[in-house]
Amino acid sequence: MKAQVAVIGAGHAGCEAALAAARMGLDTVLLTLNLESVGLMPCNPSIGGTGKGHLVREIDALGGEMALAADDALIQGRMLNTGKGPAVRSLRAQEDKRAYHLRMLRALFAQERLTVIQAEAAEILVSNGRVTGLTTHDGGRIDCQAVVVCTGVYLKSRIIIGNQMWDQGPQGLLPANLLSASLADCGLTLRRFKTGTPARVDERSIDFDEMEMQPGDEPVTPFSFLTDPPPVNRACCYLTWTNERTHEIIRNNIHLAPMYSGKLHSTGARYCPSIEDKVIRFADKDRHQLFIEPEGIDYPEWYIQGMSSGLPRQVQLDMYRSIRGLHRAVLTRLAYAIEYDCIDPTVLRPSLQVREVAGLFTAGQINGTSGYEEAAAQGLIAGMNAALYVRGRDPFVLGRDQAYIGVMTDDLTTKGTDEPYRMMTSRAEYRLYLRQDNADLRLTALARAAGLATDERMRCTERKTAQIDTLLRRIRDSHLDAYLRRPEARLTVPEDWGVFDRAAVEEAELQIKFEGYLSKEQARIEQARAMEEKALPGNLPYEDIGGLRIEARQKLSRQRPQTLGQASRIPGVSPADIAVLTVWLSRYERSAHT
């Protein structure tokens, strides 16, 4: 079989990568271990959240699928952090997980130039430092010019519950045991990370009247800039807490938890700890918040967010039943920990291409990240760049001042991560500029130039831009700008101004209200951009540059940063090293022009 791009894995990263490459005109093949696991939500059945909602909006602005699928499968929508500033407000939606899977499956099978195949990838074929294809477990071969590896948590995955361990993927699916050796042969160093998920509970055994109701917003704000009308709430979530009895059960059985018994040595996510980690690490807290969430409409299982665990079966049952509203709980699926192979992402270029293997890209949890949204965003970038690589075009790379996606890819490829990486608004130094509401204004034109965003998206963005410009002009002409700078002030559009979309009105109000802060942030961006635009030659002899510390020489030689700004963010490269590099570059440029 022949293709131009092959994508391994059909989780959130793989779906976006395959759709992006095919939409950019490349013949694309998508491999999945099981067609029933396409777009699977093995953990929380939700999309978005703090920082993550920004990523989903950016995926949509670039022409991805996640936001559209999330709007179609939404059963409850909420805007988080509404009591705080606009920079940290983030959308979050509870999803019908089966509806989301079917919605993404339909998108894949409807996409021209995309073929979906159920098979396990066995080996990536490389010749003279370039990808030439891959083989599958059943003896198949796909000749291609680029491969995007989006294997999620399936690489040599192992489930751990108490003292019991077995080779398995999430939710009873098979692991992928063949590809790790091939990745090692490509020069990639593998390591083990872990994540976990809470138990699922039979709906009939939950006493909802003992919990606090958590309704959705009215009206719902959609993820996609194209969704009209917005989705509607169809379900409710609930809130409850652990208590001292819960904590006592955990403390008495902590020696049976995999991370404490020595059964598990892989690295877990700091920002999504197990309930046993919470109880031990935050011993001063007398309770921890839990969200009780449906897995779908008319679906019999509910998800207990905030209570992942690797404790044995009976301990889990005692622990869950100690909680208000769950004293009759029937656990339909136990909580578990899962460990898997992943790589050090500092071996990647900012395009997510492996530096030493042309045409090999990686995206998602194989790069050390956690979360559906982080995976989807990487998949989109990797798929776009695989297509651009085959076309012989420059890669599509977003900067830290352009998108949360740019922050994430730079963090991964420049700084690396020693634990599962999670996007948060605090990671973005320009977060007032990188709001979720203006993702289309920031990114859609860039994606259109790269060949992904459609004419429809551009028309939608241009319409919004025109409306904002008109509103800003009329606000200033009417001298309303001083009034709108008051924190409590809201823009009510006079009837004689015309009809404007709600998104344009909100954007115009924000631009006026935060005009001074945005100007300061823009000045910081321009100041930092000088270093980002200072290119470093790919063959720079770091080992021979006098004045660089030994650690800096080693790390710069290994990572080969593309710009002076990227070099400045490599751990172990000091400001003094950057000063030495700056002087050396000035001399190098002068000698090149003489």
Q: State how far the Cα of 587 lies from the Cα of 567, in Å rounded to an integer.
A: 18
Other CB atoms within 10 A of residue 88 CB: 20
pLDDT, tens digit, 9 for 90 and up, residues 325-361: 999 999 999 999 999 999 999 999 999 999 999 999 9
My answer on whether omega of the bond before 229 falls inside 30° of 0, hence cis, is: yes
Q: State how far the Cα of 594 lies from the Cα of 274, in Å rounded to an integer.
A: 62
The pair of three-digit structure tokens given for residue 510, joined into one six-digit string: 């924000």
pLDDT, tens digit, 9 for 90 and up, residues 368-388: 999 999 999 999 999 999 999
pLDDT, tens digit, 9 for 90 and up, residues 21-70: 999 999 999 999 999 999 999 999 999 999 999 999 999 999 999 999 99
What is residue 510's DSSP assignment? H
Max CA distance (Å), the chain: 82
pLDDT, tens digit, 9 for 90 and up, residues 288-314: 999 999 999 999 999 999 999 999 999
The pair of three-digit structure tokens given for residue 184, joined into one six-digit string: 């090692």
pLDDT, tens digit, 9 for 90 and up, residues 441-460: 999 999 999 999 999 999 99
**C-beta separation of 226 from 60 below 8 A:** yes
pTM value is 0.95
What integer pLDDT is reported at residue 593 of this predicted model?
A: 66
- Best CA proximity match to 408, nearest among 367, 459, 447, 438: 367
The pair of three-digit structure tokens given for residue 590, joined into one six-digit string: 């002068």
pLDDT, tens digit, 9 for 90 and up, residues 554-576: 999 999 998 999 999 999 899 89
